[in-house]
């Protein structure tokens, strides 16, 4: 019974997204549609980054690197899969959906593996090493893509077709993935594992004393976070005909950090808010492009000094509406 | 063999710049356990201050007429840049880091990233984002030594860096401030109880580290000929890796680490491919974190609750 209810729920959500897609594709102009898609991609990035930076308290400042790995990985796999899949399923929406989702998963896999490689040496240690290693990773991965001839070097990867990568990304797929990832991260955060992650954030030594396998959990959370950034990268790649190394500069990582800090480190609804906030503010500040990052930097400093827990802290939006709110763990810095 | 010696010379001069910057990272980390991400940007501001000080002192006229810039003016440029950077360092400490000093460690870390980002982008607004040619504060003289080309610039870089590091060593070992700095890095609360004005010592630490970074910035400008407002990102990262390699918190470690990173970078550029010169630092960082996270000259500290 419970299971049937769940299946019905999932089907209902997918149908709703599908119905919304019609409305959005017919009712909104391309410009607004693009912002809506970017907001969805931002939500995936923010919710994923929040798992490691907010919930686990280990700071990554190079997530653009994982997004890049996912974008290139998905683009490459998508191009290579197109032939065999079209051969067996024929052209059409079904074949495209299969190719796109397999490509996204492949991108997530590549990003997750890079997360493991980066996380294993740096997360064994306490302290801020992850920040430095991810900063380095973000810079180095761009240098590698800049020099990878089979991925188009500095001009970027546009697939084998002269018209560029197929534009698989649409409202339905972006928001279906948003829902899947938000549910996944939410369930993880509020599971026993999630409690352990919070324990690591609050006091790593105490968590270890309670027999929490801190290193293993930190590395797992980091790899999941990297994989979600990879999904976002894959969606981003199929939105704009190609991937270029300069799409994943340090600024992109900073954008993600701003998203999770504005909403509140450790809060999923905060991250969702932050993702939308960034997509909208990016457009509003289009004319102020050269001042944008100065303002973001000041925003970060001021938030840290005045309200380090961000807008929501570690609370969730739906907790605010509960009559007797469950006691939530104290926010870091609260 | 001569090519090898050439790379060694270039590596040592580049490495001594990294060492100068690494000292600032290691001193601040030793006391506050904070990765001062803005340090690379202080290095950048130092380089730009040097550039503007030199043009205020009329370097364009000297360059146009082909005369070399007098040495006392070159030293003045160095002193002005170091003083400006020291002021900036103290200002950053006072405005951004002091309010969050007692907060959980993520808060100062994010603040440091914010300050770094702010200075990068403010730098692009103030100094223009385009690369700028560095004035020839020192006119290049080349000479050959056993088939290796040595320039007076490389020698000056090495010499100035060495002199500054020796003065820092004397300062840390022989003066009251130096002893207080060591006391703070050993135990900040105990130092406070012994009547040390910790705010003052932390301020001096930032001033000294920033001044060294500014000197590094001018030497970098002399060496690399062009500078950009984003020069502090990668160079700062490399200098931080140098500090980790030598053992973060250890002053001799920062020097050793800086020289090793400089050598590794030049040898990679010379023997593998110039494309990977930036990547090698990252490989070293991963390697050191895996094999000897306390660094070459660092001490293992047991963490207590």
**CA angle B171-B173-B177, nearest 5°?**
55
pLDDT at A331: 54
Contact residues, A window 14-43, toward B, CB-based 8 Å cutoff: none
Under a CB-based contact definition with an 8 Å cutoff, are residues A300 and A257 in contact? yes
- Please state, in angstroms and as integers, the Cα–Cα distance from residue B299 to each residue in A40, A127, A136, B292, B295, following that order: 47, 15, 24, 11, 8
User: CB contact, 8 Å: A154 with chain B?
Assistant: no
Q: Which run of H or of E encompasses B145?
A: strand B142-145
Side-chain half-sphere CA neighbours of B212 within 13 A: 33
Q: Do B118 and A305 touch (CB under 8 A)?
A: no
Q: Do A139 and B278 touch (CB under 8 A)?
A: yes
Contacts of A313 (CB under 8 A, 6+ apart): A264, A266, A267, A270, A331, A334
pLDDT at B167: 94
> Chain centroid to CA B177: how far?
21
Query: pLDDT tens, A103-154?
Result: 999 999 999 999 999 998 888 877 678 888 888 888 888 888 988 888 878 8
Q: Which chain B residue lies closest to A122 (C-alpha atoms)?
A: B289
Show the DSSP H helices in chain B as ranges: 2-32, 39-56, 59-65, 71-92, 106-127, 152-174, 176-186, 188-193, 198-224, 231-246, 251-267, 279-291
Under a CB-based contact definition with an 8 Å cutoff, are residues A323 and A276 in contact? no
Query: pLDDT tens, B130-188?
Result: 999 998 888 888 888 777 888 888 899 999 999 999 999 999 999 999 999 999 988 89
CA-to-CA distance for A78 and A165, rounded, in angstroms?
9
Closest Cα partner for A67 from A292, A268, A239, A187?
A239
pLDDT at A333: 47
Tell me the pTM. 0.86
Contacts of B298 (CB under 8 A, 6+ apart): B246, B247, B248, B249, B250, B253
User: CB contact, 8 Å: A210 with chain B?
Assistant: no
CA-to-CA distance for B29 and B97, rounded, in angstroms?
13
The owner of tokens 């930036």 is B278
Q: Do A131 and B289 touch (CB under 8 A)?
A: no
Task: Indicate if the pLDDT at residue B303 is higher than 80.
Answer: no
Q: Which chain B residue lies closest to A202 (C-alpha atoms)?
A: B104
ipTM of the complex: 0.84
CA-to-CA distance for B237 and B239, rounded, in angstroms?
5
Query: pLDDT tens, B84-124?
Result: 999 999 999 999 999 998 888 888 988 999 999 999 999 99
Question: How far does A98 lie from chain B, in Å, by closest CA?
Answer: 36
Closest Cα partner for A257 from B57, B286, B114?
B114
Under a CB-based contact definition with an 8 Å cutoff, are residues B232 and B54 in contact? no
What residues in B contact A263, CB-CB < 8 Å?
A: none
Q: How confident is the model at residue B304 (pLDDT cuts 50, 70, 90)?
A: low
User: CB contact, 8 Å: B22 with chain A?
Assistant: no
CA-to-CA distance for A244 and B48, rounded, in angstroms?
31
CA-to-CA distance for B9 and B21, rounded, in angstroms?
19
Q: Do B35 and A128 touch (CB under 8 A)?
A: yes
Closest Cα partner for A60 from A14, A111, A109?
A111
Question: How far does A119 lie from chain B, in Å, by closest CA?
Answer: 10
User: CB contact, 8 Å: A143 with chain B?
Assistant: yes
B132 forms bridges with which residues in the sheet?
A: B227
Q: Which of B113, B122, B286 sits opposite A121 (nearest CB)?
A: B286
Q: Do A124 and B103 touch (CB under 8 A)?
A: no
pLDDT at A180: 94
Q: Do B118 and A298 touch (CB under 8 A)?
A: yes
Angle of the B106-127 helix axis to the B231-246 helix axis, nearest 10:
140
CA-to-CA distance for A158 and A152, rounded, in angstroms?
8
Under a CB-based contact definition with an 8 Å cutoff, are residues B115 and B38 in contact? yes
Query: pLDDT tens, B222-276?
Result: 988 899 999 998 899 899 999 999 998 888 999 999 999 999 999 999 888 887 8
- Please state, in angstroms and as integers, the Cα–Cα distance from residue A195 to each residue in A202, B153, B206, following that order: 10, 58, 39
Q: Which of A133, A291, A300 sits opposite B113 (nearest CB)?
A: A300
Under a CB-based contact definition with an 8 Å cutoff, are residues B46 and B216 in contact? yes
Domain A2-320 belongs to what topology?
ABC transporter involved in vitamin B12 uptake, BtuC (1.10.3470)
Q: Which of A129, A140, A333 sits opposite B107 (nearest CB)?
A: A333
Q: Do A132 and B244 touch (CB under 8 A)?
A: yes
Residues composing chain A = 334
Of the two residues A169 and B19, the one the predictor is more confident about is: B19
Side-chain half-sphere CA neighbours of A298 within 13 A: 6
Structure tokens at A115: 């997360």
Where exactly are the structural domains of chain B?
20-232
Regarding beta strands B132-133 and B226-227, do their DSSP bridges make them parallel or antiparallel, or are they unpaired? antiparallel
User: CB contact, 8 Å: A334 with chain B?
Assistant: no
What counts of helices (H) and strands (E) characterise chain A? 13, 0
**CA angle B132-B20-B172, nearest 5°?**
145
Q: Which residues of chain A have pLDDT under 70?
A: 1, 127, 320-334
Structure tokens at B30: 């030793």
CA-to-CA distance for B82 and B208, rounded, in angstroms?
9
Question: How far does B286 lie from chain A, in Å, by closest CA?
Answer: 6
**Backbone φ, ψ for residue B67 (5° rounding):** -80, 155
Under a CB-based contact definition with an 8 Å cutoff, are residues A66 and A222 in contact? no
Q: Do B100 and A305 touch (CB under 8 A)?
A: yes
B142 forms bridges with which residues in the sheet?
A: B151
CA-to-CA distance for A230 and A108, rounded, in angstroms?
4
Q: What average pLDDT does range B295-300 have in this prediction?
A: 80
Q: What average pLDDT does range B43-70 have in this prediction?
A: 89
pLDDT at B139: 81
CA-to-CA distance for B29 and B206, rounded, in angstroms?
11
Q: What average pLDDT does range B9-18 have in this prediction?
A: 93
Question: How far does B274 lie from chain A, in Å, by closest CA?
Answer: 11
Classify the C-alpha dihedral B303-A218-B290-B260 as positive or negative: negative
Closest Cα partner for B217 from B44, B22, B37, B49?
B44
Question: How far does A148 lie from chain B, in Å, by closest CA?
Answer: 11
Contacts of A126 (CB under 8 A, 6+ apart): A204, B303
């Amino acid at each position: 019974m419970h299971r049937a209810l769940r299946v019905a729920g999932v089907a209902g959500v997918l149908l709703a997204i599908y119905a919304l897609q019609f409305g959005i594709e017919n009712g909104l102009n391309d410009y607004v549609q693009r912002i809506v898609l970017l907001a969805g991609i931002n939500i995936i990035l923010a919710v994923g980054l929040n798992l490691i930076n907010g919930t686990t308290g280990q700071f990554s400042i190079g997530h653009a690197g994982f997004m890049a790995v996912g974008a290139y990985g998905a683009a490459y796999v998508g191009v290579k899969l197109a032939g065999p899949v079209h051969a067996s399923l024929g052209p059409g929406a079904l074949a495209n959906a299969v190719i796109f989702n397999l490509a996204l998963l492949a991108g997530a896999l590549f990003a997750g593996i890079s997360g493991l490689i980066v996380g294993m040496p740096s997360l064994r240690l306490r302290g801020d090493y992850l920040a430095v290693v991810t900063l380095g990773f973000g810079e180095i991965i761009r240098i590698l893509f800049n020099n990878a001839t089979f991925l188009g070097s500095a001009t970027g990867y546009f697939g084998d077709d002269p018209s560029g990568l197929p534009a698989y990304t649409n409202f339905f797929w972006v928001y279906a993935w948003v829902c899947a990832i938000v549910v996944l991260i939410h369930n993880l955060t509020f599971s026993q594992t999630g409690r352990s992650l919070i324990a690591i954030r609050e006091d790593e030594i105490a968590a270890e004393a309670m027999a929490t396998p801190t290193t293993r959990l930190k590395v797992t959370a980091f790899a999941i976070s990297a994989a979600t950034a990879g999904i976002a990268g894959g969606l981003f790649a199929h939105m704009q005909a190609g991937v270029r190394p300069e799409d994943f500069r340090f600024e992109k990582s900073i954008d993600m950090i701003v998203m999770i800090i504005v909403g509140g480190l450790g809060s999923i609804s905060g991250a969702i808010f932050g993702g939308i906030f960034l997509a909208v503010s990016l457009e509003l500040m289009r004319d102020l492009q050269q001042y944008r990052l100065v303002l973001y930097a000041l925003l970060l400093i001021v938030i840290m000094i005045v309200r380090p827990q961000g807008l929501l802290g570690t609370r969730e939006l739906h907790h605010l509406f509960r009559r007797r709110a469950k006691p939530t763990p104290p926010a870091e810095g609260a | 063999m001569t090519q090898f010696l050439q790379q060694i010379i270039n590596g040592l001069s580049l490495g001594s710049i990294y060492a100068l910057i690494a000292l600032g990272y290691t001193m601040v980390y030793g006391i506050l356990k904070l990765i001062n991400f803005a340090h690379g940007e202080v290095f950048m501001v130092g380089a730009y201050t040097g550039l503007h000080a030199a043009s205020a002192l009329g370097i364009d006229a000297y360059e146009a007429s082909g005369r070399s810039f007098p040495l006392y003016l070159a030293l003045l440029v160095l002193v002005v840049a170091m003083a400006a950077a020291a002021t900036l360092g103290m200002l950053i400490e006072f405005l951004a880091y002091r309010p969050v000093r007692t907060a959980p460690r993520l808060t100062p870390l994010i603040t440091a990233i914010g300050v770094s980002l702010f200075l990068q982008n403010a730098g692009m607004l103030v100094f223009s984002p385009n690369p700028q040619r560095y004035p020839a504060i020192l006119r290049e003289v080349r000479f050959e030594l056993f088939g290796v080309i040595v320039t007076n610039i490389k020698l000056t870089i090495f010499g100035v860096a060495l002199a500054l590091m020796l003065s820092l060593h004397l300062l840390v070992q022989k003066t009251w401030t130096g002893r207080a700095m060591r006391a703070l890095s050993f135990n900040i609360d105990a130092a406070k109880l012994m009547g040390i004005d910790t705010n003052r010592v932390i301020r001096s630490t930032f001033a000294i580290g920033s001044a060294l970074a500014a000197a590094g910035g001018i030497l970098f400008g002399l060496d690399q000929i062009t500078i950009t407002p984003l020069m502090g990102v990668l160079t700062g990262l490399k200098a931080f890796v140098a500090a980790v390699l030598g053992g973060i918190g250890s002053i001799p470690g920062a020097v050793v680490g800086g020289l090793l990173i400089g050598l590794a970078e030049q040898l990679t550029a010379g023997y593998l491919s110039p494309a990977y010169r930036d990547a090698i630092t990252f490989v070293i960082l991963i390697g050191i974190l895996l094999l000897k996270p306390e660094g070459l000259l660092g001490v293992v500290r047991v963490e207590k609750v």
